[in-house]
Amino acid sequence: MVKESKKDKLKILVVTYDYYPDDSPNTYRWKNVLRAWADRGDTEIFVVCANKGNLLDFEVVDGVKIYRTGRSLFERVKSKILKHSVAESNVPSKVDTAIVQEGLIRKIYNLTWKKLYFPDFAFLWLSPARKLAGKLIENENITNLITVSWPFTDHVVGYKLKQKYNIQWIADTIDPFYLSKTVNNTALYASKSYRFENKILKKADIITVLTGKLKEKYAELYPAVADKIVVNHNLFVPVEVPENAVKSKKIKLVFVGTVVPVIRSPEYLLELFNNLVNFNQGSCELELHFYGNTSQCNDVFAKYDFLLNKSLFIHGMTSRENIPGILSDASVLVNIGNSNTFQEPSKIIEYIYLGKPILNVCSIVEDSSKEALAKYPLHFNIYKDEVNDKLKLEELSAFFKNESVLDNDVIMKIIWKYLLPQVEQNYFNLLEKKKRLN
């Protein structure tokens, strides 16, 4: 007598350049989603990601099978560039010429590879990732593929796999390709990037994006894919935040994250802070703290070296485990709005959860952070052309001293759609389950 076979597990392959042990937004999002899926017990999860260091080619973490590949010469050089840059200027005690200058290797990179590669910096990872992912699809009879962009090369891998295999493909677009001006040399590739993204997205079965604005823009740019676009918001996983029992007369402004030229520059925040220090002399003591990678903007910080370690503090990189304590110690949480109107700011959701006052420095009129904060009472938006306005400085100073407390129900009504149970279920509902065998 032949026993009835159990249902095969739903097999899902995720192609993402960034994954564990990275601490990138892509990793944070998908590591949590895939862990939740692995806990279901009826799924088998495979990840193909980049091997950026001396890591294992294969390991299982949180029930997810991780395969790493593509440790090319280019990756080795690129890792040295980043290491060199961070080592130069991670936590400066003073910003002098030696810190501000970029390393020689980075300069060479900016003048050569960065001006020529296409579609983005991960182009050499395309071939090894495609080959490894193809083997897994064949050997494991995988029925679902998810590719995660950024970088866009991940979607190119998905395109080539979809051409060859009968597989359900979800193109998860955290950052758009053609609309970004920092992806590659737009002077050379703008029109090519438009045609390329259109071709790639048309091949996908489903395209997931973080915002309604990006969905509308994609539908306008690429009408053929309009019906395939689904919005699934950014992810936030609450963690326990220690209570700060020590009350201080200082007003401590805290920014956590990476600052970069053009997209998220600290220029206007620093100008605003300098004005606030001068405006509030004698009335209150202000401090501004930066946690994260600031190395690409050292020339901007150098203009305010007279504030360093007095009222302006640059702490450098810190582990995610330290963030709750850092945020708990803040009087005001600071956000620098992204110049990309189509990107949803994940940091804002974390800030809202804490119920603290939030200062949002808007880089553009259609600031996506401003939209996310619209229903949150304890926020203050200021635009770059307002940082020298005395009336705004007076309003902002009063905002800092406001001791209002929000009810937790108000907070949860704002953030529920960003929580893990909602986000992971939204994705899971998009998977092709009819191909499972009995």
Is 235's pLDDT higher than 80? yes
Check if the beta carbon of residue 145 is closer than 8 Å to that of residue 176: no
Average of per-residue pLDDT across 259-263: 82
Is 134's pLDDT higher than 70? yes
Grouping H, G, I as helix, E, B as strand and the rest as coil, residue 44 is strand
Structure tokens at 271: 């100008």
Check if the beta carbon of residue 56 is closer than 8 Å to that of residue 65: no
pLDDT band at 436 (very low <50, low <70, confident <90, very high): very low
Check if the beta carbon of residue 296 is closer than 8 Å to that of residue 260: yes
Residue 244 makes CB contacts below 8 A (sequence gap 6+) with 328, 329
Higher pLDDT among residues 342 and 308, named by residue: 308
Rounded CA gap, 90 and 88, in Å? 6
pLDDT band at 179 (very low <50, low <70, confident <90, very high): confident
Strand partners, 253: 288, 332
Q: How many CB atoms lie within 10 A of CB 374?
A: 9
DSSP string covering 319-348, please?
-GGGHHHHHHT-SEEEEE--S-TT---HHH
Is 37's pLDDT higher than 50? yes
Residue 2 makes CB contacts below 8 A (sequence gap 6+) with none
Is 280's pLDDT higher than 80? no
Is 166's pLDDT higher than 60? yes
What integer pLDDT is reported at residue 78 of this predicted model?
56
Check if the beta carbon of residue 218 is closer than 8 Å to that of residue 207: yes
Is 128's pLDDT higher than 90? yes
pLDDT band at 119 (very low <50, low <70, confident <90, very high): confident
Strand partners, 47: 14, 66
Domains of the chain, earliest start first: 10-71+121-235+419-428 (3.40.50.2000), 73-116 (no CATH), 250-416 (3.40.50.2000)
Mean residue pLDDT across the chain: 83
Residue 6 makes CB contacts below 8 A (sequence gap 6+) with none
What integer pLDDT is reported at residue 338 of this predicted model?
74
Higher pLDDT among residues 216 and 81, named by residue: 216
Check if the beta carbon of residue 81 is closer than 8 Å to that of residue 140: no
